[in-house]
Amino acid sequence: MQYLQINNLTFKYTSSEIFSNLNLSFEKGWSCIVGSNGSGKTTLFKLIARILNPQEGNIIGNELVYYCEQELHEKPNGFDDFIYTYNTKTFKLKELLHIEDEWFYRWETLSFGERKRIQIAIALFLEPNVLLLDEPSNHLDIKTKEILIKSLKNFKSIGILISHDRELLNSLCHNTVIIKNKKIYNYKTTFQKATEELDSYFNFLQKENDNINSKVKKLQNNIQAQKEKVSQSKSRLSKKNVNTKDKSLKEKINLAKLTGKDKSDSKLVTSFSKKAHVLSSKRNEIEKNFDKGITIKDEKSKKEKFSFLLQKGQLLLGEKKILKYENLSLNKSDKIAIIGDNGVGKSSFLKLLISKISSLKNYLYLPQEIDLKQKENLFEAIKSLNNEKKGELFTLIQRLSSNPKNLLNNNTTSPGELRKLFIAKALLDNIQFIILDEPTNHMDIDSIESIEQALKEYQNTLIVVSHDKTFVKNIKARIYTILKGVGDFYELKEADAANRI
């Protein structure tokens, strides 16, 4: 049977250890590796692909690996072999992934989704023993993602996937590796079931800790009680205030000391202390988890009213492309998710909307890519906060699954972490209107779930553009779409929305 085996692997970047004595195995079929940003997922891929070498240990079964990197600026390996091979296999792959021949001659102008489909087609064409995919669904629309899933189900060797896309993970993978707090957890099941099992395991460990803490507390109470007895006994047996002529009392004190009752109490203190120490050492190491979801209690905000009307019109997208839209009425607490294929005009519609609300001061718009000026303004605004407000911001960031000290002291913040910082600041300021374009791109799954919960509880107006079906469903938004080829922007009926997401 074909397999990939990682044996006693240790890898460090200078002084920072990423993996220590790591052992994992992968068999035929799809596995996934999930974990927070910076947990070592991509590093592990590079070790399997022999781009990096471990300091200790080895990997067996990685002689023929194809690594589909997340970024696709250059043409992928095997590009020329694929386009100049004319046989049934290449024709089927082009048909399966909806690839047009003219794409190969204009790589620089292809969308991310088109480049990704070519990359996957080449990987399937080369038939590697191990196929590594790093975030293959980033920027893909719902239709293209369905095409991707269908094509990857045809791969019969060892496939390993890094992704934040829960739909993709649950559709493909039957083996799940979770990296959490530098520990590796491996489950022979889907991502959803694996996370449920891991949560149950952590709950079990927490219950054990609670039981230990309860016993330690009782011992500490006993220790305190015994210490008080010892103190009283020492006071009672002291001759300091005894009259020098009172020989009878002195003899009684000497007799009490001889019987050693105070020594017995002291021994109990020592015994209880040792038991408490032993019990404390048995506590399970559990990463501290913060509650997800954010609700800002602001009585002033509750009284504020918000309403906005975008009147019926049309938007020119190109020489022959027009986007038509009916009246769009937005009120306080409305949540709208916009879905649709790539290139139909979703981002252009958001820009139109923003041009109409430019008079509003209390709104946040986050595009797919955040520019340097936006980032600089954010950090300047955070620096100007007083200590109380900074403390509140720290709490919000923690509840969005980030370490605030690392985030706020780092000018090279990752795109996913930067988005969380913007959203936390908007929630702190109780922004009336938040507009987000593909907010889950670049985020790990814990972060996405935290953002989901926060936006679900958000009490003001929200518009989101997203291809993430699970995310859209969980924030409880009304669904709007733009129909490709027709250019109409309209709200989906409940039944249609359920079918689409």
Decide: 18 and 12 in contact? Cβ < 8 Å. Answer: yes
Q: Which residues of the chain have pLDDT under 50?
A: 258, 299
Whether the CB-CB separation of 298 and 430 falls below 8 Å is answered with yes
Q: Residue 463: beta bridge partners?
A: 336, 435
Q: Tell me the one-letter amino acid at 474.
A: N
Q: What is the pLDDT of residue 188?
A: 95
Q: Which residues contact 213 (CB under 8 A, 6 or more apart)?
A: 283
Give the phi and the psi of residue 260 in degrees, each rounded to 5. Answer: 75, 30
The pLDDT value given to residue 295: 58
Provide the pLDDT for residue 386: 92
Whole-angstrom distance, CA of residue 227 vs CA of residue 265: 8
Q: What are the phi and psi torsion angles at 444 (to 5°)?
A: -80, 170
- Say how far apart CA 388 and CA 396 lie, in whole Å: 13
Per-residue pLDDT at 406? 66
Cα distances (Å, whole numbers) of residue 405 to 69, 100, 395, 419, 454: 30, 48, 11, 16, 21
Whole-angstrom distance, CA of residue 22 vs CA of residue 33: 14
Rounded-to-integer distance, Cα 483 and Cα 480, Å: 10
Q: Which residue has the tokens 């909307």?
A: 353
Q: What is the DSSP letter of 459?
A: -
Triad 478, 480, 483: Cα angle to 5°: 160
Looking at the DSSP assignment, which residues form a beta bridge with residue 418?
none
Q: How far apart are the C-alpha atoms of 199 and 269, rounded to whole Å? A: 38
Look at residue 258 in the predicted model and tell me its pLDDT.
47
Structural contact between residues 52 and 43, judged by C-beta atoms closer than 8 angstroms = yes
Rg (CA), the chain: 31
